[in-house]
Amino acid sequence: MTTTTTTTNRPGLAPRLSALTKVVELGPGRLDKKLLNDAGALLLRAGDRLKLSSEHTVVALAGGTGSGKSSLFNAISGLELSPTGVRRPTTARTHACVWGLEGAAPLLDWLQIHHRHRFSRASALDKGDSQLHGLILLDLPDHDSIRALTDTEADRLIGLADLVVWVLDPQKYADASTHRRYVTELAGHDAVTVFALNQADRLTAEELAELVIDLNDLLRREGVEHPSVVPTSAVTGRGIESLKSVISTAVGRRRAAIQKIEADLHRLEQKLSQAMPMGEALSAPSTVDDARRMGLTDALCDAVGVPAVGEAMENVYAERSSRWVGWPYPRWIGKFRTDPLKSLRLEDVGKEIRGIATTSVSAQSAEVTNAVQALTDGLSMGMHPVWRTAVHQAARSRSSQLPQALTEDLTEVAPQLDRVPGWWRVLKVWQYFLVVAFVAGLAWLAVGLLMPGQLPPALELLGDSATLPWVGLMMASVLGLGALSGIASRNFVELGASRERERLEREMRRRVAAVSATMVVEPVERELGRHHAFYTAMRDLSV
């Protein structure tokens, strides 16, 4: 016995099932658990059904106690007087009558129909029912029986059947339990649902016509746009052929299984759309753009004091350079004044940077939180509240670690203030040479003025009054040259300090951007990508 499997589906069904798979994959934590379970069950049911015989159509007769459902089953199948001695189907277990057994066994196994309750119409006497070839007719347990309270077999098979024939009796055709539990869930299932108003023999023609009109109106009010109502009587045989014709049409098209899945998809898609309206969801960003990245980096740089550190480094660089390249005389005089470094408390910028996490920790944490909040507020604007919350949670997932991570990373780039550029050393030697030259000139003047003519012949030049003006000019030149070199060196130092500040701030900014990308942007982009993929799948599901 071989099984015929589906090889071709309605264009669009496979992509829609794939889209639903994506929704189920991305939905946890975003969608109601029951809705996710329903979607997962539909995917499982659709996948199983599409793998099984496409040559068979499963038609279930469903109804309440006393509706005559089993009698109708016998009337359609003709098995009540079966020569095999099969007893009349009851409401205790589902019975199945199969027209064409080949390939039906796996499908019956999937439906969980017991072998004792499977019947075949494959004999030569059944050629008149050839239009029903491929039909699997199920007589379900009464959905409102006492047994049904503990046995969900009827509900299970109503969900699995390709086409459902609801058997209603004239007394309880508007039964609230049936309509509330089942009929209101059939909106969009018009093509795979038939209503048999049974026991028509108990009514006059006028009463039957009135009931048919009333039932049609009731079904339309409950969302069944195009109800198919067939009056039947298992006793007189009235309407049996009409019902068989409706069933045979569905069987002949071999599309009821696909239509049932499509109807289930449509119904589920409506529920998903109510839970997660599409709106302008796909216009929300799926990534963090460069402008927002830059804004986050700027805010975090302010939060950790990058500009202040850069300014402190520049000030310290300039002040410490005076010990090397400043004209020594003003520096020696400055020792009698208060040390500007101590007043600024900037002796060690490395310690200042390492102290970022411990100085004003709460304020910095608040600033970091505000920076992250500003980013997520802009990105999640217009999102469903569930997704907006998810984006904020993703951004904050590592925010508690962010201040410490920034501190540790920036500490590594603390400038080495004990590093002395080579040109500072050369200039210092030059300036002390000028100091020595000035002292020598000063000694020359002192000797020439205080000891004229008293020096030995070898040193007479020092006491020669004619040389003193030249010595004075030399000393003035030394002082001028020293002052000029000091001014020039200070200009070069300030230029170098500015460049060092720019380098330091650029490196610190690069590191802040890298940390924020890892700890904030990446988690946020994962959630944005999930949001975009979810709503893309929702769009594809509704096509």
pLDDT at 148 over 50: no
In this prediction, residues 244-264 reach a mean pLDDT of 90
| Sheet with 163-168: strands ordered across | 118-120, 95-98, 135-139, 57-63, 163-168, 193-197, 229-231
* Maximum mean pLDDT: which of 82-91, 94-103, 126-135: 94-103
pLDDT at 86 over 70: no
* Per-residue pLDDT at 189: 83
pLDDT at 314 over 50: yes
In this prediction, residues 292-299 reach a mean pLDDT of 90
Under the banding of pLDDT at 50, 70 and 90, the label for residue 2 is very low
Q: In this predicted model, what pLDDT tens digit does every residue of 6-44 receive, in sequence order? A: 434 444 789 999 999 999 999 999 999 999 999 999 999
- The more confidently predicted of residues 302 and 21 is 21
Under the banding of pLDDT at 50, 70 and 90, the label for residue 431 is confident
pLDDT at 448 over 80: no
Share of the chain above pLDDT 90, in %: 28
Look-up: residue for tokens 């969980």?
Answer: 112
- The more confidently predicted of residues 450 and 203 is 203
- The more confidently predicted of residues 108 and 120 is 108
pLDDT at 214 over 50: yes
The residue type of 505 is: E
Give dist(CA 512, CA 534) in Å, integer.
32
In this prediction, residues 499-517 reach a mean pLDDT of 84
In this prediction, residues 426-430 reach a mean pLDDT of 75
Largest CA distance in the chain: 161
Under the banding of pLDDT at 50, 70 and 90, the label for residue 428 is confident
Least confident of 80-89, 234-243, 291-300, 336-345: 80-89
pLDDT at 518 over 80: yes
pTM summary value: 0.73
Q: What's the Cα-to-Cα distance from 26 to each of 285, 528, 529, 530, rounded to whole Å?
A: 17, 12, 10, 7
Instruction: Count CB-CB contacts under 10 A for residue 421.
Output: 14
Distance of CA 83 to the CA centre of its chain: 63
* Per-residue pLDDT at 129: 65
- The more confidently predicted of residues 134 and 124 is 134
Give dist(CA 215, CA 168) in Å, integer.
10
**Are 463 and 453 contacting, i.e. CB atoms less than 8 angstroms apart?**
yes
In this prediction, residues 150-176 reach a mean pLDDT of 80
| CB half-sphere exposure, 42, CA atoms < 13 A | 25
* Per-residue pLDDT at 8: 41
pLDDT at 157 over 60: yes
In this prediction, residues 361-367 reach a mean pLDDT of 56
Under the banding of pLDDT at 50, 70 and 90, the label for residue 420 is low
Under the banding of pLDDT at 50, 70 and 90, the label for residue 74 is confident
Share of the chain above pLDDT 70, in %: 73
- The more confidently predicted of residues 49 and 403 is 49
* Per-residue pLDDT at 179: 63
- The more confidently predicted of residues 275 and 85 is 275
Q: What's the Cα-to-Cα distance from 457 to each of 429, 443, 445, rounded to whole Å?
A: 34, 18, 18
Mean pLDDT of the chain: 78
- The more confidently predicted of residues 218 and 324 is 218
Q: What's the Cα-to-Cα distance from 89 to each of 75, 118, 151, 363, 446, rounded to whole Å?
A: 12, 11, 17, 79, 139
In this prediction, residues 67-81 reach a mean pLDDT of 78
Under the banding of pLDDT at 50, 70 and 90, the label for residue 46 is very high
pLDDT at 193 over 60: yes
- DSSP code at position 140: P
Q: In this predicted model, what pLDDT tens digit does every residue of 370-417 receive, in sequence order? A: 888 899 998 998 899 999 999 999 988 887 777 778 777 776 665 655
* Per-residue pLDDT at 390: 93
Least confident of 304-318, 352-366, 380-394, 495-509: 352-366
